[in-house]
Amino acid sequence: MLDDLSMVFTGDALLIRGCGRTDFQGGCAQRLHESVHRELYDRLPDHCKVMPAHDYQGLPYSTIGEEKALNPRLTKPVDQFVVLMDSLDLPQPELIDTAGPANLS
């Protein structure tokens, strides 16, 4: 996050109109939801630009205000978010057996 709160780099946690996976590498949907809300939505101004690690929407950036209003996952209450994330049934990434341990170390 920049000192003037004009921009935040959110990695894989908060994506544009989405969020990172919570089904491997010790992920926890409840912890992700609470962290995004506590550390980003509650602390940063709505005009703060969101710069995620990945762009799956073809948008160069979003804002905290846009994500608070339009993110289809993180606008849900935590209990609904956990059910949603637990039911995604996504395929394992191709290199997870290599990348997972490397990321943890």
CATH of the domain at 95: 3.60.15.10
In a domain, 1, yes or no: no
- Global pTM reads 0.85
Residue 103's pLDDT is 66
Distance CA 14, CA 43 (A): 14
The domain tally of the chain equals 1
Q: Which of 13-22, 43-52, 75-84, 89-98 has the lowest mean pLDDT?
A: 89-98
Residue 65's pLDDT is 98
Residue 19's pLDDT is 95
Distance CA 82, CA 76 (A): 9
Cβ proximity of 58 and 70 under 8 Å: no
In a domain, 2, yes or no: no
Cβ proximity of 33 and 16 under 8 Å: no
pLDDT in tens, 36-84: 999 999 999 999 999 999 887 889 899 999 999 999 999 999 999 999 9
Domain encompassing residue 37: 7-104
Higher pLDDT, 25 or 51: 51
